[in-house]
Amino acid sequence: MTGLSKEQGASTGVTANQIHNPLPSGNDIRLPWHLRLPVSLEQDFRFYSRNSAAGAASSALLLIALLLVCAMLVESLVGSDVLLQTWRPRLFTLMVTGGCLMLCQQPRWREWLQPALLVLSFTLSLSGVYLGMAIDHPLSYVFFLQTPLAVVMLSTLFRLPFHSTVVSALLMTGAMLAGLYFSKESTPFEHATLIMLSMAFISMSLFGQYVYERLLRKHFLSEHVLYQHRDELHSANQVLESQATVDGMTGCINRRGMEARLNHLYHLLKQQNPDAPERVCLLLFDIDFFKQYNDTYGHPAGDECLKKVSAVPLAMVQAEKDFVARYGGEEFVIVLTDSSFNDALVFAERMRNRVEQLGLPHSGSRVNQVVTISIGVSSSDGGAENGGALLKQADEALYQAKGAGRNRVAMMNHQGAVEMLT
């Protein structure tokens, strides 16, 4: 037991499996002998296997085209009468091969690639059967070998699904046996030799295809499990990130999240990133005489006041990159992107008015009998070098708003002077 003695492991209740619990590799996944998966997974696997096989199909098809051309050259050397009978089937097979190559080059047509490869295999096999029966030559029986070649091509080069390969192999083998039965040039000895040789090639190819697909399905299932784990981990990370950056009481972003987002926006501005906003406007506000509110109505009522006040800017913010953050205590920050400075001031005044219109009683306030807020506004156009400087400008404007009597909006203009919004 690595790092623990047996006695220590027994005393702590830790087993070897708990100490070393690797991620699934596919070796621990059991498949039925027939390889079939549940319907939804089977459909996904078909898509997965088709894409995995499509990459090598182009090279395999070029190899087949080269072999067909070489076969025609050999047949021309055997005799011109033989070439006269074989060139049409060969040319047709080459045309089918070219069609399959075109399908390989177009991803949107790949769903038709496997049926096209089956057509190519049957074309190769049946043309061999036809030539073996039609050509009057002592070596014409070798054309029947195109059937085991077609099966090898299906299982080894194209990696078509095992069940389709088995059915196709049975049909092509039946056609070959029928052709041998009606062939007159071959002797019984040649028939037996061809059949035995073909059966050996076909059986070994199908067995290899079965083993390959079993491994491929295990790999697919292993990736499927890992994908689920990654998805679950991503969801858990999102929850943790939300918990780490969202204020639990108000639903606003907390100070840590606000600083991270504001710094990111400024980084985009500095880098002149295409995703960067034209400007960043920052509104900093706090609730007037909030300490007196808590002293008068109690902290539970103060918490409810914070929730109701923060709900106002949360409902007003619309743009995807805009956000509301709880800066601390009764202070809140609103960041507006791609809004003009005048729009930001209008936003601030509307927010101030809506909070006042809530009508939350505040007998401890010195400016009104209801809860009000004071707001400071700044903009990145005013020369702030970073998010901290922008926040400092808004804080200075807020300080002036509170000094001017509260329940009002103050702004830091582009010349660095604070002005009251009238």
pLDDT digits (tens, 9 = 90+) for 257-277: 899 899 999 889 888 888 888
- Using CB atoms within 10 Å of the CB of residue 153, give its burial: 0 to 12 exposed, 13 to 18 middle, 19+ buried: buried
CB atoms within 10 A of CB 229: 12
Is the confidence at residue 70, as pLDDT, over 70? yes
247 pLDDT tier (thresholds 50, 70, 90)? confident
On whether residue 1 sits in a domain, the answer given is no
- Which one of 45-49, 163-167, 302-306 scores highest in mean pLDDT? 302-306
On whether residue 47 sits in a domain, the answer given is yes
**Domain boundary residue, one of 181, 205, 226:** 226
List, for residues 350-366, the tens digit of each pLDDT value: 999 999 999 999 998 98
On whether residue 379 sits in a domain, the answer given is yes
On whether residue 362 sits in a domain, the answer given is yes
CB atoms within 10 A of CB 370: 16
Is the confidence at residue 183, as pLDDT, over 90? no
Same domain, 203 and 316: no
Same domain, 205 and 91: yes
CA nearest to 220, candidates 370, 382, 50, 393: 50
Same domain, 218 and 267: no
Same domain, 212 and 114: yes
What is the residue whose two structure tokens read 């076909």? 202
CATH number at residue 324: 3.30.70.270
Same domain, 170 and 266: no
Same domain, 219 and 266: no
SS3 (DSSP) at 160: coil
On whether residue 136 sits in a domain, the answer given is yes
79 pLDDT tier (thresholds 50, 70, 90)? confident
Same domain, 410 and 340: yes
* pLDDT reported for residue 19: 44
* pLDDT reported for residue 9: 44
402 pLDDT tier (thresholds 50, 70, 90)? very high
On whether residue 331 sits in a domain, the answer given is yes
List, for residues 199-246, the tens digit of each pLDDT value: 998 999 889 888 888 888 887 887 777 777 777 777 777 666 656 788
Is the distance from CB of 78 to CB of 139 less than 8 angstroms?
Answer: yes
Same domain, 213 and 299: no
* pLDDT reported for residue 182: 81
- More reliable by pLDDT, 21 or 203: 203
- Mean of pLDDT values over 308-316: 95
Q: What is the span of the domain harbouring residue 107? A: 23-226
Same domain, 222 and 259: no
pLDDT, the chain, mean: 85
List, for residues 107-163, the tens digit of each pLDDT value: 777 778 888 889 999 999 999 999 988 888 877 888 998 999 999 888 888 878 888
Number of domains in the chain: 2
On whether residue 13 sits in a domain, the answer given is no
d(CA 146, CA 346): 81
Same domain, 187 and 272: no
Same domain, 219 and 260: no
Same domain, 184 and 262: no
**Domain boundary residue, one of 205, 226, 247:** 226
CA nearest to 109, candidates 50, 65, 40, 42: 50
On whether residue 248 sits in a domain, the answer given is no
8 pLDDT tier (thresholds 50, 70, 90)? very low
- Mean of pLDDT values over 287-304: 94
Is the confidence at residue 346, as pLDDT, over 70? yes
Percentage of the chain surpassing pLDDT 90?
43
